[in-house]
Structure 1
Amino acid sequence: MTTELRRLRNYIDGEFQDAADGRTTEVVNPVTGEAYATAPLSGAADVDAAMAAAEAAFPAWRDVVPAERQKLLLKIADAFEERAEELIAAESENTGKPLGLTRTEEIPPMVDQIRFFAGAARMLEGRSAGEYMEGLTSFIRREPIGVCAQVAPWNYPMMMGVWKFAPALAAGNTVVLKPSDTTPASTVLMAEIIGGVLADLGHPKGVFNVVCGDRDTGRRMVEHPVPAMVSITGSVRAGMQVAESASKDVKRVHLELGGKAPVVVFEDTDMAKAVEDISTAGFFNAGQDCTAATRVLVHESIHDEFVAALAKAAAEIKTGAPDDEDVLYGPLNNANQLAQVSGFIDRLPAHAKVETGGQRVGDKGYFYAPTVVSGLKQDDEIIQNEVFGPVITVQSFTDEEQAINYANGVEYALASSVWTKDHARAMRLSKALEFGCVWINTHIPLVAEMPHGGFKKSGYGKDLSAYGFDDYTRVKHVMTSLDG
């Protein structure tokens, strides 16, 4: 007997809709490897409709006073809390994430981040007005940009959706958000919640829209003439394509494109704490995190001891089904990602050593064992490229200079960490490391008040913080004559 698949739908101008041409794509539960839903495979007509709705809603939403935008976001945050269990269930079914960790590690930060941007809506700061030329007064207007086309990734569908829509709406923009084709379920549920709050407060229906689809759908959004800004979290390749496409009509672009975070461990560190924290930060969410602690650099004097301890800790970490309270992480997101992670291990050079793991777990779903690889060189593929899986690599360094060279010697520049009891050394490294974030004796915590974003091929623009809010505004100079 065939089980009927759940039907997910686009959310455009306050209504749930199928793709105009009826096309769909299957949504797979990565725990089982089996489809459980269908989602629209949106085409040009659907993107046109969503952009038209957002464009029509923009003038009224732009003119809503900041206090009312704050009220909307606060009510959205409250609604997310009230319907947290539904969001957790949707996210877990779509990604395979552990239910308990999704409840404690994702819902509270998401709600907090929405509330932060609710406050930011009322903090449109600019330089004070003044006379910088005799007889003339200048002042600054900080305004919303317009319609924002936003593309979220599959590793954190809910949270990355929040990072995109919350600052955009707070600043007075309207939104067309596209989730990944493998993880639309929680985003569609968020649309239902946000749409309900918009309706309750009497705001235009087209302020927030969700369009499901594949890469072609995303490409149509980026190329569409309506959006004034495009924001994407994804691969370097995708970001480069977006930047190239957006340049043709000079759209503003916001890119967060991945990382290869160095974790620099010196000989004076508290090894037990470092091993425990690094293993958690490396394997959390199956290593599917742009900031994951997956590239460890260890001083040669403690290298062997550290590798042994890290391998032991990794071997004790459990992956499994979402309802198992003992698991740290669930499956990889999709079959392609399983193949990618497996491929990195299969192609390891002869000088590399798999200390633990290195294989798929089970014959159903996309589970992969926590893996530690040592004996690597700086130019090895697995050091230079993002694995995006539960794989931690370990290299040895001789001194501070070599540690810095190794750490900076990749094309990514999103996040990093330094582990030492030497304050002066930590300060030197925090200056020398070319990454958007440097943690000291910790790795992976984020707060709404501080910016998240990288350099080099990790992209540009900031998420979270007042800097992230500013990215969704434009600055206008107004000058007036004092003589009438």
Structure 2
Amino acid sequence: MFRILTSTLRIQHNNFQQSNLRRFSKYLVDNSNYAFLQRLGIEASNPGVFNGTWGGRGEKVTSYSPTSNEPIAQVTFGSVQDFSETVEKSKEAWKQWCLIPGPKRGEVVRQVGEALRENLTDLGKLLSLEVGKILLEGIGEIQEYIDMCDFAVGLSRMLGGSVMPSERPGHMLIENWNPLGIVGIITAFNFPAAVFGWNHTLSLVCGNCTILKGAPTAPLVSIAITRIIQSVLEANGYPASICSLVSGGADIGQEMVKDRRIDLVSFTGSTEVGRQVGTTVQARFGRHVLELGGNNALIVNEDADLEMALRSMLFACVGTAGQRCTTTRRVMLHESIHDEMVERLVKAYQQVPIGDPLEDGVLYGPLHSDRAVGEYESAVQQAVEQGGMVSYGGKRINRPGNFVEPTLITGIAHDAPIVCKETFVPITYVSKFSSLDEAISWNNEVDQGLTSSLFTKDVGKLFKWLGPHGSDCGIVNVNIPTSGAEIGGAFGGNKATGWGREAGSDSWKQYMRRSTCTINYSDELPLAQGIKFE
């Protein structure tokens, strides 16, 4: 299990001591450009486990910046023993936390949001440095976590079930919700803060304790956020182990998934690994939330606002260097506008500023790992072999770091094997359709079902797209990109995307235990359905 997770780790054992690491890492010297590392408590060597105290008995690893492939800092991962001890401490903390009234739990989350606001820019810079996102997206991801705090604070005064009429006189039915227990959260590298925020904030106001296993290639973001949460919990007199962290690789993920003490596992990652996670959790009758792969399509109909569609495609295809779950990977253009839109899209791609994601004006940074660069090069080769033509890009950029050109592939069949496969890189496959029904069928033919978008001015086509014969995705957009979901709606997808839902709407219910309660307040004992048993 989790062999894929293991293969994605850029973990290298270190032959240098902590005293040498500061000199080894240019980011940890006294440089005003990277002073945010010190302000966030990031040191040359950092413990990667927190369960009320900081520690870690696993391997020592180095976090690298994908912009330069140079080391940032060292982290000591947790061991299996660390994980087991953390679960026990979480269970002890839960005994207290679950009894705290919901609005008081919400007050703690409010303070977490305020603490994140105070560190918004610094956290955004750390995320950009470690993940490779441009600074505006790094700050935006932390803002998303803050927004989730605000959402959860309001929810903390609205948690409640239904009161239902009983068919029996002198009786009433109520739907009661109680905290679930311990929630394990496994995040992916591309959204190490926001995915944790979606789960953590709702879980906390629902009365649960959380254990985070952050992305192993972005451990510093997890550590910095955990330190902020720790300070808030301790300032309020609560056990800091209410929100714990166990940094690690596949071994820690496997322990979390199979541990019966973990009541819910939220996993964000590939469909292949998610299938293993779901099977293992279900085998022990646990609960899981799966946010897996996406192979998202954006359809431009002949009557669309082409300028709006062009701007949307550029962000959805190129943003985050193609490393969003919601990235547009398939563009479908009506045959009457296909050639014009491809030409305009190529010109737009040529104008995208590429460079260090921390620099002003840059809109496109590096891929997160060298392994992703290899996947990019392989996908381009396969696309050409399967009949596609590189209309723009297709090559690694000759500069330090994991930079590749944003790429457009045209002339390839809509059902070519490489098109039907999600590759987590900035490659977009463009196809030509003759009718909306044809485009919808192409949208639905892939295994995944995360997000989709249609550009049209025709109200009839709009509602067909939203209806039972329309998109089969969990997110169905009209005249906006496939990416950029708001927290107010439940986020997640269907089919091989895992059917998970996080963030807004009624997603809070999966973090709680529901009971249907019948209360007899009469002196009689009638049975339901008119049964007589006398």
Match of 1:82 in 2: 118
1:388 and 2:427 aligned = no
1:377-456 equivalences in 2 (<5 Å): 377-431=413-467, 432-443=470-481, 444-456=483-495
Q: Which structure would you say has the larger Rg?
A: 2
Match of 2:359 in 1: 324
Match of 1:10 in 2: 48
Partner of 2:84, secondary structure, is: helix
Taking CA–CA contacts closer than 8 Å with sequence separation of 6 or more, which of the two structures ends up with the larger relative contact order?
Answer: 1
Match of 2:265 in 1: 230
Note if contact 2:129-2:358 (Cα within 8 Å) is conserved in structure 1: no
- CA-based RMSD of the aligned residues comes to 1.6
Match of 1:475 in 2: 514
Unaligned ranges ≥5, structure 1: none
Match of 1:460 in 2: 499
For residues 354 and 196 of structure 2, the distance between their equivalents in structure 1, rounded to whole angstroms, comes to 26
1:89-128 equivalences in 2 (<5 Å): 89-103=125-139, 105-128=140-163
For residues 236 and 375 of structure 2, the distance between their equivalents in structure 1, rounded to whole angstroms, comes to 46
Match of 1:359 among 395, 407, 413: 395
Larger mean Cα displacement after TM superposition, 406-415 or 460-469: 460-469
Match of 1:197 in 2: 232
Note if contact 1:44-1:217 (Cα within 8 Å) is conserved in structure 2: yes
Note if contact 1:12-1:49 (Cα within 8 Å) is conserved in structure 2: no
Match of 1:42 among 72, 75, 78: 78
Note if contact 1:11-1:191 (Cα within 8 Å) is conserved in structure 2: no
The residue identity in structure 2 corresponding to 1:377 is A
Note if contact 2:412-2:430 (Cα within 8 Å) is conserved in structure 1: yes
For residues 51 and 83 of structure 2, the distance between their equivalents in structure 1, rounded to whole angstroms, comes to 12
Note if contact 1:152-1:233 (Cα within 8 Å) is conserved in structure 2: yes
For residues 86 and 506 of structure 2, the distance between their equivalents in structure 1, rounded to whole angstroms, comes to 28
For residue 53 of structure 1, report the CA deviation from its aligned partner. 1.4
1:108-148 deviations in whole A, cap 9, x for unaligned? Answer: 32211111012112211311154332343221211111101
Unaligned ranges ≥5, structure 2: 1-19, 26-43, 524-534
For residue 322 of structure 1, report the CA deviation from its aligned partner. 2.1
The residue identity in structure 2 corresponding to 1:433 is S
For residues 339 and 238 of structure 1, the distance between their equivalents in structure 2, rounded to whole angstroms, comes to 20
For residues 505 and 312 of structure 2, the distance between their equivalents in structure 1, rounded to whole angstroms, comes to 29
Larger mean Cα displacement after TM superposition, 213-222 or 346-355: 346-355
For residues 58 and 137 of structure 1, the distance between their equivalents in structure 2, rounded to whole angstroms, comes to 31
For residue 470 of structure 1, report the CA deviation from its aligned partner. 1.5
Aligned residue pairs, count: 481
1:207-236 deviations in whole A, cap 9, x for unaligned? Answer: 100110112211111111210111011100
Note if contact 1:39-1:213 (Cα within 8 Å) is conserved in structure 2: no
The alignment's TM-score, normalised by the length of structure 2, stands at 0.87
The residue identity in structure 2 corresponding to 1:452 is F
For residue 350 of structure 1, report the CA deviation from its aligned partner. 4.9
1:335-354 equivalences in 2 (<5 Å): 335-348=370-383, 349-354=385-390
For residue 363 of structure 1, report the CA deviation from its aligned partner. 3.6
The residue identity in structure 2 corresponding to 1:7 is S
Larger mean Cα displacement after TM superposition, 89-98 or 261-270: 89-98
For residues 407 and 267 of structure 1, the distance between their equivalents in structure 2, rounded to whole angstroms, comes to 17
The residue identity in structure 2 corresponding to 1:438 is V
For residues 175 and 110 of structure 1, the distance between their equivalents in structure 2, rounded to whole angstroms, comes to 16
Note if contact 2:487-2:503 (Cα within 8 Å) is conserved in structure 1: yes
1:222-261 equivalences in 2 (<5 Å): 222-261=257-296
For residues 277 and 147 of structure 2, the distance between their equivalents in structure 1, rounded to whole angstroms, comes to 30
For residue 4 of structure 1, report the CA deviation from its aligned partner. 4.8
For residues 64 and 170 of structure 1, the distance between their equivalents in structure 2, rounded to whole angstroms, comes to 10
